[in-house]
Amino acid sequence: MEITAKQLASYLSGEIEGNPDVSVNNISKIEEGQPGTLTFLANPKYTSYIYTTKASIILVNKDFIPEKTISATLIRVENAYQCLAQLLTLVDQSKPKKNGIGSLVSIDSTAVLGENLFIGDFAYIGKNSKIGNDTQIYPHVYIGDHVKIGANCILYPGIKIYDDCIIGNNCILQAGVIIGGDGFGFAPKETGDYQKIPQIGNVIIEDDVEIGANTTVDRATMGSTIVHHGVKLDNLIQVAHNVEVGENTVIAALTGIAGSTKIGKDCMIGGQVGFTGHIHIADGIQIGARAGVANNLTDNSTPYLGYPAIPAKQFARSFVIYKNLPELSLEVSKLRKEIEELKKTIK
């Protein structure tokens, strides 16, 4: 689809610098831009490419000040990255949606199905489960008994949703997600082995949640494991039983959250972060990659880094000392020898 700079600027409420009639029919990265494509500049690390890219139109923030001549047409907007997201969403929504129910599906007679569904071959839907309107269920998805899935959801191949779990509206679950597997509950016995604790709760996923590939959200021992509205979980994340993740929190890949931990809303959590169980993370907390969180975090005025997680500035100062430990160790050994020599001299 061809679209002009003038049309884009109108849609994005932007200001044009350059030829308003230049048109594009595709989107490219700024370092790989070609004629006829739209690109964007949001990260200052890529500023040098704005002077060399061959893209026809570039989205930039309103406060961008060029240092050289730029051949492309600029569209100045409040937030270039956010505007790109709007455009990509528009492109994605323009694709034809799958619909219809495959001939090789297994749907229990008591299940309640909404309108305009797509259900791919080899999907299974259990007893008394409910599927909302306009939801897409790809092949090899398992939906257990008494499951509720809202409207306009997308469930990609290989997803497993166990009994009694609830998925809200407008949710996207990537391939391999498992919702409602047993939590890790075992009671040690006097004989040295373990007694399994039945996990009789469920999982509640609220509206507008996206969960990445092969992420697992365990059912609660009792009550519910809850992922609140607007949460975005990356690939390969473990959310244990009775965890609660506050709304609009984003968590990067390979993070593990132990049982009964409560994470507040609007938090940003980097990759490979580990949380111990039964702790509380306040609203708006930011945690850097590979941190280990063993205690409650209450101060959202600073990011946290390290293990155990501490304020970022304190971590930076500590790390300088850590890097110098070999030299410091040699210096301490040298000082010890000198002290011993002084002691002998005094005696």
The set of catalytic residues is 241
Angle, helix 325-346 to helix 312-323, in steps of 10 degrees: 60
- Written as one string, the DSSP assignment of 71-113 is -SEEEEES-HHHHHHHHHHHHHHHSPPP-EE-TT-EE-TT-EE
Residue where the block lists tokens 């709304």? 247
Q: Which residues contact 281 (CB under 8 A, 6 or more apart)?
A: 261, 262, 263, 264, 267, 275, 287, 293, 296, 297
Q: Which residues contact 43 (CB under 8 A, 6 or more apart)?
A: none
Instruction: Compute the CA torsion angle 110, 172, 237, 122 (nearest 10 deg).
Output: 50
Structure token pair of residue 295 = 């205690």
**Eight-state DSSP code of residue 297:** B
Maximum pairwise Cα distance, the chain = 97
d(Cα 245, Cα 28) in Å, to the nearest integer? 35
